[in-house]
Amino acid sequence: MAATPAVRALERARVAHVLHSYDPDHAAGQGHGEAAVAALGTDPRQVLKTLVTRVDGALTVAVVPVAGSLDLKALAAATGGRRAAMAEPADAERATGYVVGGISPLGQRRALPTVLDASALGFATVLVSAGRRGVQVELAPADLVRLTRARTAPIAR
């Protein structure tokens, strides 16, 4: 499998990680995160989805467990903003360099401000998209915070 920008970023930083692949076409009717959970048999609180939002108009990344949903008001508060909304998919793809369903918080074309749900810190490792549909990368949440320069806050419900 060819390395994605996310995997190259992990390798450059010498961060311990494990790649997990699955057939993304096998999970018709499920969301991308739910498909990863089902295929890999992992805890849906440990698998994180990467959502691109706009906080007061500025693109911002929110990383929350597949088991929950993003609380837009909490995200706005965590960033010192007033209003948050989901970004248009085309804007998310253009800014990150990834396609929807494979957007990784790592190795983005343009590093966006990132907020990681605080619940992720309760796990020894978490899984996020490796930058391609059907590939997840497992790493320590502290490494995810460090590489994305994320702040942590309770942004999931």
Range of the domain at 77: 5-153
DSSP 70: B
Supply the pLDDT for residue 98.
Answer: 96
- pTM of structure: 0.92
What is the number of domains present in the chain? Answer: 1
**Can you tell me the distance from the alpha carbon of 57 to that of 87, in angstroms, rounded to the nearest whole number?**
9
57 contact partners, CB below 8 Å, separation of at least 6: none
pLDDT tens-place string over residues 82-113: 999 999 999 999 999 999 989 999 999 999 99
Report residue 101 as tokens: 């369903």
**Res. 50: pLDDT tops 90:** yes
Supply the pLDDT for residue 33.
Answer: 79
User: Do residues 100 and 67 make contact, with C-beta atoms less than 8 angstroms apart?
Assistant: no
Question: What CATH number should be reported for the domain holding residue 61?
Answer: 3.90.960.10
The backbone torsions φ and ψ at residue 126, rounded to the nearest 5 degrees and listed phi first, read -130, 165
**Which of these, 34, 13, 3, 11, lies nearest to 147 by C-alpha position?**
13
**Res. 12: pLDDT tops 80:** yes
